[in-house]
Every structure is written in C-alpha cells, then in structure tokens.
Amino acid sequence: MQEQDKTADRNPHIIEDRIIRAALSGQIAPGERLGEKDLSEIFNVSRTLVREAMMRLQARGIVEVSPRRGWFVIEPSVEEARHTIDARRALEVGMLVTIDDIQPAQIRILREHVLSEQQALASGDRAQRSYLLGHFHVCLAETLGNPVLGSLLQDLTTRTVLIAALYQSTHDAHESCCEHGQIIDALEQGDPTEAARLMDVHLRHVEKALNYRHVSNRLEHLKAALQAN
C-alpha cells in the first residue's frame, strides 16, 4: 500500500492511467461500477482525489456518473461505437496520408508491437491481446511523432475496445493483427497512401465485426425468448 501511495504522489493521473489500461485490456467491463471508497483504498488516496480523477475520465468519455449510484465505466451501444470509429477513421487515415517520411527505427518499434500482439494471441491471453490490439493505434501515432493525436486516439480506442470486449471474436482479433502488419508493410515500402487505404479498410472491418456480432446476439436473445420450453 505504501508503494501505491508513493506512485500516486509521483503521478497524480495514475488512477486514470490504470483505469484506461484496464478498460483497454478488457479487465474492466463496460458498465462496471467504480466506487470512490474502493478506489481510494486501492490507491491509498483521498476520495477527493478519486472524484477528481473520475471527473477527468468523464470529460474524456470513459466513465459516467449516475445520481445516487456512483461512477460507472461507459457501456457504449454499437451505434456509439460506430460514431467513434468514424472519428478514428478521420484522424488515423488523415495522419497516414500526411506522412512525409518514416525511419527504420520507427518501423522496428511498430514491428515489435505487432510481435507482442501475435504472442498474446498465441498464448490465449485475451486481456493482453485486447490491450495491444487497441494500443497499436496509439503506438502508431506516437511513433510517427504526433503525441497529441496519440492522446486523442487513446480515448477513442478505449471507447471502441469497451464495445469490442463484448463482441470481438478470436478470429476478429487475428484479422486485426494481420491488418496492422499490412499497414506497417505499406509504410516500410514508402507508400503512405496505401497505408491510409489499408487503415480505412481495417477500421471498416472493425465496424462490420461489431455490427455482425450485435445482430447475432439480438437474434440469439430473440430465439431464446420465443422458443417453447
């Protein structure tokens, strides 16, 4: 507990950082309650500091507050996820189109990230796989030298992952990893236009997978409700 207290002192945003990482990895589920008392004990800080962190996360669209019930991780609908992906498409495709040059060292960083994705997929570590697949887009922006865009994408990606945690299959995850590699291939070949096209295709696949899973789940629920006992 003492170590947590020192960490919180060094980084006043540690609560937000940990919650976002847990959401990206699927360790915190959409709709999960985040009690101020529980968080104050976990991080060994005052409830005032916890409340301030929650308000910042609320402003970033990661949590919401319910009167008399407290703070909850957002539970976005598929429609909300679609709007979020549209915003990501505008940012990420635009970022790739405007790249002037990319260095071998930057390609190595991106390759290492995809290798970590592959290792998480092979090990069956769903939480690590979800985190890495989502964080690739943040890593891409930061590696290409745009930390502001990286910060924006972290919030948008977290919102997408919260819905993907409900619907994304292992097959979808493998496809995402493969598409990340193809984007890097295009960048390494000095073709940012192709990288941007592949990013657009990739995000459309993410959206399509979410929509398909949503319809499948609705049909399953309807079937269960209407079938005779």
Q: Where are the domains of the chain?
A: 2-73, 78-222
pLDDT band at 143 (very low <50, low <70, confident <90, very high): very high
Tokens of 2: 């003492």
Global confidence as pTM: 0.76
Is 161 a residue whose pLDDT tops 90? no
Confidence of residue 101 (pLDDT cuts 50, 70, 90): confident
Listing from the earlier edge strand, what are the strands of the sheet with 63-66?
33-34, 70-73, 63-66
For domain 2-73, which CATH number applies: 3.40.50.2300, 1.10.10.10, 3.40.50.300, 3.40.630.30? 1.10.10.10
Give me the pLDDT at residue 68, please: 81
Q: How far apart are CA 75 and CA 64, in angstroms?
A: 9
**Residue 12 binned pLDDT confidence (cut-offs 50, 70, 90):** low
pLDDT for 221 equals 43
**Sequence-distant contacts of 141-149: CB under 8 A, at least 24 apart:** 141/92, 141/95, 143/106, 143/109, 143/110, 144/95, 144/99, 144/102, 144/106, 146/95, 149/91, 149/95
- Nearest in space to 178 (alpha carbons), one of 117, 101, 102, 91: 117
**pLDDT bucket at 88, cuts 50 / 70 / 90:** very high
What does the pLDDT read at residue 159?
83
Instruction: Report CA-CA distances (Å) from 109 to 10, 20, 91, 112.
Output: 27, 22, 21, 5
Q: What is the mean pLDDT of residues 8-24?
A: 78
Q: Which amino acid is at 227?
A: Q
Fold classified for 78-222:
Four Helix Bundle (Hemerythrin (Met), subunit A) (1.20.120)
Domains 2-73 and 78-222 share a fold: no
Amino acid at the residue 225: A
Supply the mean pLDDT for the chain: 84
pLDDT digit string, tens, across residues 195-214 = 999 999 999 988 877 665 54
CA distances from 229 to 160, 192, 219 (A): 37, 57, 17
Asked if residue 229 has pLDDT above 90, the reply is no
